Chains A and B, each alone.
Chain A
Amino acid sequence: MKKLLFITATILLLSSFKTENTIGIPSGEKLVFAGSYNMSGLMTQLAQVTLSTDRVSTAKNSYLHLNCELETFAKWDKFFKIRDLYESYVDPITLKPSLYKRSIDEGGWTKKEKYIFKGNSVTSTSKTKNSPETITTFTIGGATQDVVSIMYKLRTMDLSKMKIGQSQAFIIVFDEKQVPVTVKLLGNETVSAGNLGAKNCYKLSIGAKTEVLKGKDKNLIYLTADAKKIPVLMKFSIPVGTGQLALTSATGI
Chain B
Amino acid sequence: MRRTFLILAVIFTILSVVFSVLPFDTFALAPIGLSLVFIFIAFRKSSAKQRKITKILFVIAYICAIFVLGKTFLIEDKVAIDNQFEQQKKDAKQEAKKELEDLENDLK
Contacts and interface: CB of A to CB of B under 8 A. Distances in A.
Interface string B69-85: 00000000111101001
**Chain A interface, >50% SS class:** strand
A85 to B, nearest CB: 6
A85 B103 contact: no
14 contacts: A42-B25, A42-B26, A48-B79, A56-B93, A56-B96, A60-B104, A65-B96, A71-B82, A73-B77, A74-B77, A85-B88, A99-B96, A116-B103, A118-B106
**Chain B interface, >50% SS class:** helix
Contacts of B101: 58-60
B44 interface: no
A183 to B, nearest CB: 28
A231 B103 CA distance: 32
Interface residues of B, number: 27
Nearest to A34: B77
A198 B20 CA distance: 32
Nearest to B26: A42
A127 interface: no
A79 interface: yes
A188 interface: no
Given A40-B27, A40-B30, A45 B104 contact: no
A178 interface: no
B55 interface: no
A229 B73 CA distance: 29
